């Protein structure tokens, strides 16, 4: 029977530009143990000693070299099955706003791209992560709705 775990995070990265919101997508390295070559946002694991916010900041810095201006909790939990470990994973969704566009990817990834919303939707591999992006875009486009997000 698969175990249910809750120590994963999904972190979407947004940068405000004159051309609109840009979302950072990372391409998993071709030699990645799981899901090689797919485009995604940051996903990661909360260490046993960490607070979730610390994980978000650590993963952002490790995978991109970026620092967050703000981090928000998105009212969504993604669930997925991780076949390699026979686990059902529950992953809260977060959004970070960053100022810097200069990304330094880790060895986990082979490429990165700042993409507008429509392109990002087409590039992201997993449908449930596209659904997260849809919700995030709705919040970003509605100032009143955005003001209701909880800052982490």
pLDDT of residue 143: 96
pTM of the model: 0.96
Q: What is the pLDDT of residues 80-122, one digit of tens each?
A: 999 999 999 999 999 999 999 999 999 999 999 999 999 999 9
Sign of CA dihedral 65, 101, 143, 124: negative
Q: State the residue range of the domain holding 44.
A: 3-151
Q: What is the pLDDT of residues 17-72, one digit of tens each?
A: 999 999 999 999 999 988 999 999 999 999 999 999 999 999 999 999 999 999 99
pLDDT of residue 34: 87
Determine the Cα–Cα distance for residues 6 and 101; give it in Å rounded to an integer.
31
Domain at 19, CATH number: 3.90.79.10
pLDDT of residue 75: 97
Question: How far are the Cα atoms of 3, 14, 125, 132 from residue 94, in angstroms, in the given order?
Answer: 24, 11, 18, 9
pLDDT of residue 115: 98
Number of domains into which the chain is organized: 1
Strands (E), the chain: 3-5, 8-17, 20-28, 39-40, 42-45, 70-82, 87-97, 109-115, 150-151
């Amino acid at each position: 029977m698969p175990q249910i775990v809750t120590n994963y995070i999904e972190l979407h990265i947004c940068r405000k530009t004159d051309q609109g919101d840009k979302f950072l997508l990372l391409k998993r390295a071709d030699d990645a143990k799981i899901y090689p070559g797919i485009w995604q946002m940051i996903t990661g694991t909360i260490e046993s000693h960490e607070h979730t916010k610390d994980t978000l900041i650590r993963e952002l810095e490790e995978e991109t070299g970026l620092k967050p201006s703000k981090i928000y909790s998105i009212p969504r939990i993604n669930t997925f099955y991780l076949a390699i470990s026979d686990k059902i994973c529950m992953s809260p969704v977060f959004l970070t706003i960053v100022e810097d566009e200069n990304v330094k990817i880790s060895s986990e990834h082979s490429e990165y791209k700042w993409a507008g919303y429509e392109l990002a939707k087409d590039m992201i591999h997993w449908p449930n992560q596209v659904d997260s992006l849809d919700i995030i875009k709705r919040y970003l486009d509605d100032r009143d709705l955005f003001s209701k997000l909880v800052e982490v």
